[in-house]
């Protein structure tokens, strides 16, 4: 049956108000697990340095003759290592007209964009810190970069064919050379955990990308997760593998959207920090017309207090 003649409907109307929700939906993830777990430190220069040391290996022949004169042991100096600070920023420019208009979902366009850019800056830093980036001292025409986690790791590594470690040498951190990809297996993970423990580390965090987070869920060492219900010892199983139990303790498995999916980082977070020369800050840029400009930035360096406490299972198969 058709519409009666002369019916005035919504298709004819000119004055109906738009129906635009006051909520802005943003699906982009904002979790930055490494940045959240790393110790926050203070840098005082663009080259942030620290010292590392280790004990001599146990001497199984340490027996001396009664009454004998003492023989003097070698005394080894500390090692001096460092990393350069990197400046990362985000900028916002909003016209005066846009700031003045009546907007859905936010009162101030400038404030909304500043908050959004702040989250983007943290995501950038998470990706920079966890990936395979060399340190560069920079110049008036070249930006400084800070050596990242994967570049630092040399002591406890498992790499595919052709893969080579980078590491700290002669004042800078070099990138690791990627090898041939191979499947992520529990044996590879156990090997790196054992190596970390033997070197004195307690790698309680395993940082992995989405594919190998799922692969790791099938490992025999995964601890079954339970949700406690009143009066019950066991209840609904929680989906997802969050804890791996090895011969050397429990290891929290943390999924990362920003680290490389081809690498499983086996981390003792006690020995990782981020040193800020300039912590997160906002600057008002010079006004050159009918707009408002802001810059958000941070200047920071990754601190590998002792890379031998952590390791990596590298060159893993990715989608």
Tokens coding 101: 């208009």
pLDDT of residue 238: 42
CA distance 119 to 112: 11
pLDDT of residue 129: 98
Query: Tell me: the pLDDT tens digits for 273-303?
Result: 999 999 999 999 999 999 999 999 999 999 9
Distances (CA, A) of 143 to 127, 156, 302: 17, 30, 16
Confidence of residue 12 (pLDDT cuts 50, 70, 90): confident
Query: Tell me: the pLDDT tens digits for 70-81?
Result: 999 889 999 999
Query: Tell me: the pLDDT tens digits for 18-37?
Result: 776 666 666 667 789 999 99
CA distance 229 to 232: 5
Query: Tell me: the pLDDT tens digits for 251-280?
Result: 999 999 999 999 999 999 999 999 999 999
Mean pLDDT comparison of 66-70, 71-75, 101-105, 161-165, highest-scoring range: 161-165
Rounded mean pLDDT, 54-65: 90
Confidence of residue 15 (pLDDT cuts 50, 70, 90): confident
User: Given a cut of 90, is residue 226 above it in pLDDT?
Assistant: no
User: Given a cut of 70, is residue 236 above it in pLDDT?
Assistant: no
pLDDT of residue 277: 97
pLDDT of residue 234: 42
In the chain, the percentage of residues whose pLDDT exceeds 90 is 76
CA distance 284 to 197: 49
Give, rounded to a whole angstrom, the gap between the first and last alpha carbons of the chain.
Answer: 55
Q: Which residues pair with 206 in a beta bridge?
A: 253, 266
């Amino acid at each position: 049956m058709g519409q009666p003649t002369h019916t005035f409907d919504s298709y004819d109307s000119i004055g109906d108000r738009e129906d635009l929700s006051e909520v802005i939906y943003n699906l982009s993830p904002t979790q930055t697990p490494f940045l959240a777990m790393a110790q926050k430190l203070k840098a005082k220069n663009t080259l942030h340095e620290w010292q590392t040391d280790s004990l001599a290996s146990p001497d199984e022949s340490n027996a001396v003759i009664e009454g004998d004169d003492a023989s003097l042991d070698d005394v080894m100096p500390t090692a001096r290592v460092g990393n350069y600070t990197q400046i990362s920023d985000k900028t916002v420019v909003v016209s005066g007209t846009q700031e003045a208009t009546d907007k859905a979902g936010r009162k101030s366009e400038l404030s909304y964009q500043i908050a959004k850019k702040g989250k983007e800056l943290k995501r950038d830093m998470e990706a920079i810190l966890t990936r395979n980036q060399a340190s560069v001292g920079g110049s008036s025409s070249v930006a400084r970069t800070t050596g990242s986690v994967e570049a630092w790791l040399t002591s406890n590594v498992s790499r595919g064919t052709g893969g080579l470690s980078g590491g700290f040498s002669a004042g800078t951190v070099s990138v690791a050379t990627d090898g041939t990809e191979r499947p992520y297996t529990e044996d590879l993970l156990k090997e790196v955990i054992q190596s970390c423990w033997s070197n004195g580390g307690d790698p309680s965090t395993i940082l992995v990308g989405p594919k190998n987070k799922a692969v790791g869920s099938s490992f025999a060492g995964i601890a079954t997760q339970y949700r406690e219900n009143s009066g019950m010892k066991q209840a609904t199983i929680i989906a997802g593998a969050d804890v791996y139990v090895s011969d050397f303790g429990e290891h929290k498995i943390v999924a990362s959207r920003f680290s490389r999916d081809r690498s499983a980082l086996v981390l003792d977070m006690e020995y990782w920090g981020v040193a800020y020369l300039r912590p997160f800050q906002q600057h008002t840029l010079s006004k050159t017309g009918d707009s408002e400009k802001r810059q958000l930035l941070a200047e920071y360096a990754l601190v590998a207090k002792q890379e031998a406490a952590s390791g990596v299972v590298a060159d893993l198969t990715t989608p």
